[in-house]
Every structure is written in structure tokens, then in C-alpha cells.
């Protein structure tokens, strides 16, 4: 069997790992073994938190919509139910943005929701 010399590829792999861990604390940016472990952990956190970010933003939007709805004399659930009955198909991201930047428009949406749920 022929001999395979791995030094070039091995060095390239180690250099790439150490480049990715630049800025990590302690030996995790200079020692290959520690860097490899830190990178595995960092990648798992990144994967998890890409999903959690969506959850966190939805919570933020719901909180903002609820606060604006309560200033208009409604709860969040009453507002969303009324908007659904009225056929308003705005997602929470857009509603939260309207609630923060344009209170008058949000008040009109709240009135539409109130009328739809009363009917």
C-alpha cells in the first residue's frame, strides 16, 4: 500500500480551525485541541440560538402589541381575535412596528377589531 503524507492537509485544517476561533478566551484560540472543542460548542450554540431568535422576536412583538392594545382598552387576545374576524391579515411583526411608530393607525386597527368582535 502506498504511503499518504498528510502534513499539508492537516496543517490546513488546523489553521482553518484556529482562524475560526480567533477572539476566543484562553487556550481556545491558540491550542488546536481546545480550539476544536470550543468550536464544536460554539457551533451548537449558534444552531440552537438561530431558532431561539425567532421565538424571542415573536415574544417581543406580542409584548409590544399587547401594550398598545391595552392603551386602546383591549387585551392582546381580544385584538387578535377581532382582527381575524375582520379579515385583517397583518402579521405580528408589522402590527408591532405600527404600534411603536404610528399610534393613530394602530388605534384604527383596534377600532376595526372592536367592531368585528362586537358584531
Confidence of residue 53 (pLDDT cuts 50, 70, 90): very high
pLDDT of residue 62: 98
- Average pLDDT of span 87-111: 97
Look-up: residue for cell 502506498?
Answer: 2
In total, the chain counts a number of residues equal to: 119
Q: Cell 425567532 appears where?
A: 54
Give CATH superfamily name and number for 9-118.
Answer: Ribosomal protein L20, C-terminal domain (1.10.1900.20)
Please write the tens of the pLDDT for every residue from 1-14: 888 888 999 999 99
Q: What pLDDT digit, counting tens, does each position of 29-45 carry? A: 999 999 999 999 999 99
Question: Tell me, what's the pLDDT at 86?
Answer: 96
Domain range list for the chain: 9-118
Give the pLDDT score at 37.
Answer: 98
pLDDT of 22 strictly over 90: yes
Note the pLDDT tens digit of each residue in 59-85: 999 999 999 999 999 999 999 999 999
Rounded-to-integer distance, Cα 38 and Cα 60, Å: 31
Q: At what angle do helices 92-101 and 103-118 cross, to 10 degrees?
A: 130
Amino acid at each position: 500500500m502506498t504511503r499518504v503524507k498528510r502534513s499539508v492537509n492537516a496543517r490546513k485544517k488546523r489553521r482553518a480551525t484556529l482562524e475560526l476561533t480567533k477572539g476566543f478566551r484562553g487556550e481556545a484560540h491558540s491550542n488546536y485541541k481546545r480550539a476544536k472543542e470550543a468550536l464544536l460548542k460554539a457551533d451548537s450554540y449558534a444552531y440552537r440560538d438561530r431558532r431561539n431568535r425567532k421565538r424571542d422576536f415573536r415574544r417581543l412583538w406580542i409584548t409590544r402589541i399587547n401594550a398598545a392594545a391595552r392603551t386602546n382598552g383591549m387585551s392582546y387576545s381580544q385584538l387578535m381575535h377581532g382582527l381575524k374576524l375582520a379579515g385583517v391579515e397583518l402579521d405580528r411583526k408589522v402590527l408591532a412596528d405600527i404600534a411603536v411608530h404610528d399610534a393613530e393607525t394602530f388605534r384604527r386597527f383596534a377600532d376595526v377589531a372592536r367592531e368585528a368582535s362586537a358584531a
